[in-house]
Amino acid sequence: MSTPEGPQIPPQGEPVPPTPPQYPPQPAAAAPPGAALVVPNASGPPHPPYAVQVQIGYPEQLSRWLPFVKWLLAIPHFIVLYLLRIGALFVVVFAFFAVLFTGRYPQGAFDFLTGYYRWGTRVGAYILLLTDAYPPFSLDDDPAYPVRLTIDYPAQGIARWRPLVQWLLVIPAGIGAALLGLGALVAYIVGWFAVVFTRRFPRGLFELVVVALRWQARVNAYTDFMTEQYPPFVYG
């Protein structure tokens, strides 16, 4: 009488051969548009779903001496950002006519402006003591860096009339960003002394600066008609 064959167990002491995968591994699914970025120990209030995402990881400790020299160490970035700003002005003009006549934002122009604002956000976070990690000289997103910014590309297109009026429609959000910027300046001054004496940026003040940078990024993207969605009036 035959018995069903079970799994073959090798004799004791012999290595067990690895089991080959039964199917090829599947690539990780891309994050949906507006999904929150993954940043270790991300700080700030809840981030609403929006085309512009900014996340900054909260550092448990910061250097006591770097606050004295960060403005000096960042000078190379200031020079590069000045040159990139000149290029960004030409890119926005090009995108203005492209959207006006075709209803689509050129992908290359969009990626350049996203990289420009990403670079500026990293440098701003570095200067404002939100991180001690020196910003990379790159327009690309770096998941390993504690400051991340992404802007979802409008694959559905942009309404042709928007480049004509979004610079005007953004004024209320711009006023809100300016008021938050003043609050962030006060938070930075208090945080500067806290870092020098305690090596920690008080978390509540840290989050205020994060929100200010986040609002500014949203206003920039909306002004350049990179998204049709109006910047949300939320503390987050």
> What residue segments make up the domains of the chain, in order of their start?
50-223
Give the model's pLDDT for residue 2. 45
pLDDT at 192 over 60: yes
Report how far residue 217's alpha carbon sits from residue 53's, in angstroms, rounded to the nearest whole number. Answer: 8
Q: Which three-class secondary structure state does DSSP give residue 14?
A: coil
| pLDDT tier at 161, thresholds 50, 70, 90 | very high
Is residue 230 classed exposed, middle or buried when 0-12, 13-18 and 19+ CB atoms within 10 A define those classes? middle
| pLDDT band per the 50, 70, 90 thresholds, residue 236 | confident
The yes-or-no verdict on residue 10 having pLDDT over 70 is: no
Looking at the predicted structure, is the pLDDT value of residue 16 above 90? no
For residue 51, pLDDT beyond 70? yes
41 vs 22, higher pLDDT = 41
Give the tens place of pLDDT for each residue, 83-105.
999 999 999 999 999 999 999 99
Burial of 136 (0-12, 13-18, 19+ CB in 10 A): middle
Query: Stretch 171-193: mean pLDDT, rounded?
Result: 98
- Average pLDDT of the chain? 88
Residue 17 has pLDDT above 70, yes or no: no
Residue the block writes with tokens 């203005």 = 96
Look at residue 26 in the predicted model and tell me its pLDDT: 44
Q: Report CA torsion sign: 117, 181, 222, 163.
A: negative
**CB 165, CB 143: distance < 8 Å:** no
CA-CA distances (angstroms) from residue 197 to 65, 143, 191, 193, 231?
Answer: 10, 31, 10, 6, 37
CA distance 136 to 25: 32
User: Average pLDDT for residues 55-68, to the nearest whole number?
Assistant: 96
Sign of CA dihedral 232, 128, 119, 44: negative
Q: For residue 174, how many other CB atoms are within 10 A of its CB?
A: 18
Sheet with 52-57, strands from edge to edge, namely 42-43, 52-57, 147-151
The mean per-residue pLDDT over the stretch 152-164 comes to: 97
Interatomic CA distance for residues 40 and 57, integer angstroms: 6
Q: Which two tokens stand for residue 201?
A: 């940026």
User: What's the half-sphere exposure (Cβ side, CA atoms, 13 Å) at 48?
Assistant: 12
Helix axes 162-169, 203-223, angle to 10 degrees: 150
pLDDT at 25: 39
Beta strands, E only, 36-178: 42-43, 52-57, 147-151
